[in-house]
Amino acid sequence: MGADGCPGGLVARGVTGGYRGRVVVRSVSMRAEPGRVTAVVGPNGSGKTTLLRLLAGLLEPLEGVVEACGRRLSGLGPRDRARLVAYVPASAPRGLGQLVEEYVAAGRYPLWGGLRSTPLGADIEAARRALAGLEALGLAARRVGELSSGEAQRASLAHGLVRGAPVLLVDEPTSFQDIRGRLLVYRALRGEAGRGTAVVVATHDFVLAGLYADRVVVMSGGRVVADGAPGEALTPRVVGEVFGVRVEWVEAPGLGRLLVPVEPL
Amino acid sequence: MSARGLHGFLFSVLLVAVLFAVSVSVGPAGLRAPPPIGPLDLIAWLRVYRSLAAAGVGALLGLAGALIQYSVSNPLAAPSILGLPQGALVAAAALTLALGTPPPPGLGLLVASLGALAAYWVTMAIAYRGGLSGAGLVVAGIAVSSALTGLAGLLLILVESRIGILGAELLLGTFAYATRGDAVVAAVSSVVLVAASLPLLGRLDLLSYGDEVAAAAGVSPPLARLAATLLAAAATAAAIYVAGLVGFVGLIAPAAARGLVGGHPARSVPASAVLGAAVTLAADTAARLAAPLLSLGELPAGTATSLVGGIFLAYLAARGAAGGEPL
């Protein structure tokens, strides 16, 4: 999806939301630009998942608006919304004996005609390409329920990627990945941004966010406490207050600046 | 459809055709294969009605089981385990007692469907309180189906004694009294309900991965689950109307279908209906052949399906399917 296909990317203005009277996210305003990876960073319970569900249009804001490509999500039907915004939840898929390539291909369901229920050859091809990009092509013919947590996580990312939506939201895509898996996941997210997609990733791993995100939104207690380029948002003071960890930015020859956690505060 | 799915589906259809031919050809009255040309005699016609009723009921139960299993992504969630047919039976028996006469088919099917829905709703409400684990749903279902089986037994004995029609035998479903009308209800409702479920199967596929996955793909989990539940309740009610409670077909057929054509519901739900027909035809034929050996006039088909189904459930439980491991 080219940037011109999604003017403005994803925008939240004064969004407040939560569950059954319990407000989790409070007046959040943020923007995810097309062609950029935006990381929503915060410790467990800071409201990242709730914010992502609000941004995906799965949760109706109590206040404020979310717009994708200039269109208000709350005014769209579910299928149109799913075509604009692909959301990958953190929970592992269950399934009932489907193959991984079928699960991944089902990510294109919103693009199919109204009565179609099965993936065609082109959908399976797209699923295999997405899996291959995550070095997970070997999973294609396995059953969804038999995957390890890390394998299921990569299959779910592929399920989100195959939709080719102009906005991609991913919740904790690296929590079960080994180090190589984390790098593969972020390479895929950077590649997706390279195609003009507005990518938003929620993670508690501020080190990876500092390395790979173009922009970092730091959340604490349901509010945004810092927003900007990694070096501006993830200052030692902000990370210390939000995560309780002392960090240093260090110069790495040939790599640029790295955020290094030093000790608990 | 993949080659595996197509072959598996064709195999299932062929299996039903063979079992249907066997079912029409054998019985205590001796071998009376229908003549290739010319009119069928009375016994042959009765066997055709009976076999059509068995095949239709099996298809209804296989369909209901598959729809429920995908809607809660649990391979143990068979209608007879979750209380649907027991609820239908209680509602149908209560209606018959209230009217003092067998209800007309339309009203009977409607009230039985509502009974199935009510029982399923109670099971789900209990399971949600307990956190809706795979095993928790089954335990809630056993509680509801046991209580309703007792209630149905009581009501059916009252029906038998007060109104003088078939009663308690319906607790172990039978095709011994299948009429032409039963055959028509079973055949028509199974074809109509399978056809009505087809547009739902893509949504059920997404729903089976989880509510968040489905919602993110633009599928409303409550609406998709409601549609699957309504179809399953209607199928259960039609099966109850024709034969009474033929248990466990909705557990066996979906698992067999997934093994044969793979796990995608677009293939396995129709295949489950076809295999349900095969299971029920085989059970009824076996029960009919076993009855003379035991010097019995009739053996309900439900005895065979419950026997096989109970063993199959034990196998699933031993494999850890209650923990959510899909078959």
Domain residue extents for chain B: 3-21+45-323
Conformational region of residue A76, where left means phi above 0, alpha means psi within -120 to 50, and beta covers everything else: beta
Q: What beta strand segments (E) does chain B contain? A: none
* Overall number of domains in chain A: 1
Residue B9 touches partner A, C-beta closer than 8 Å: no
Chain A residues contacting B via beta carbons under 8 Å: 56, 58, 77-83, 86-89, 91, 93-99, 102-103, 106-107, 109-110, 112, 115-118, 143-145, 156, 159-160
What average pLDDT does this structure show over A223-237?
95
Determine the pLDDT at residue B175. 87
**Nearest residue to A242 (alpha-carbon basis) of A261, A262, A225:** A225
Question: Higher pLDDT residue, B249 or B313?
Answer: B249
**CATH says B3-21+45-323 is which class?**
mainly alpha
Confidence of residue A2 (pLDDT cuts 50, 70, 90): very low
What average pLDDT does this structure show over B149-159?
91
Task: For residue A164, give the CATH number of its domain.
Answer: 3.40.50.300
Model pTM?
A: 0.91
Residues of B whose CB is below 8 A from A96: 69-70, 73-75, 208, 258, 263, 265, 326-327
What average pLDDT does this structure show over B70-88?
92
**Phi/psi of residue A264, each to 5°?**
-70, 145
Q: Which amino acid is at A45?
A: G
Q: Is the pLDDT of residue B327 over 60?
A: no
Running DSSP on this structure, what letter comes out for residue A73? Answer: G
The range of the structural domain enclosing residue A222 comes to: 3-264
The overall average pLDDT reported for chain B is 87
Q: Is the pLDDT of residue B290 over 90?
A: no
Poorest-confidence range of A8-22, B86-100, B308-322? B308-322
Question: Higher pLDDT residue, B51 or B309?
Answer: B51
Confidence of residue A3 (pLDDT cuts 50, 70, 90): very low
Question: Higher pLDDT residue, B295 or B204?
Answer: B204
Count CB atoms within 10 A of the CB of residue A7: 12
Among chain A residues, CA nearest to B259: A97
Determine the pLDDT at residue B40. 62
- As for the ipTM of the complex, it is 0.94
Determine the pLDDT at residue B320. 64
Question: Higher pLDDT residue, B321 or A39?
Answer: A39
The overall average pLDDT reported for chain A is 94
Question: Higher pLDDT residue, B29 or B290?
Answer: B290
Q: Is the pLDDT of residue B250 over 60?
A: yes
Q: What sign has the CA pseudo-torsion A237, A243, A246, A247?
A: negative
Determine the pLDDT at residue A144. 95
B75 contacts A96? CB cut-off 8 A: yes
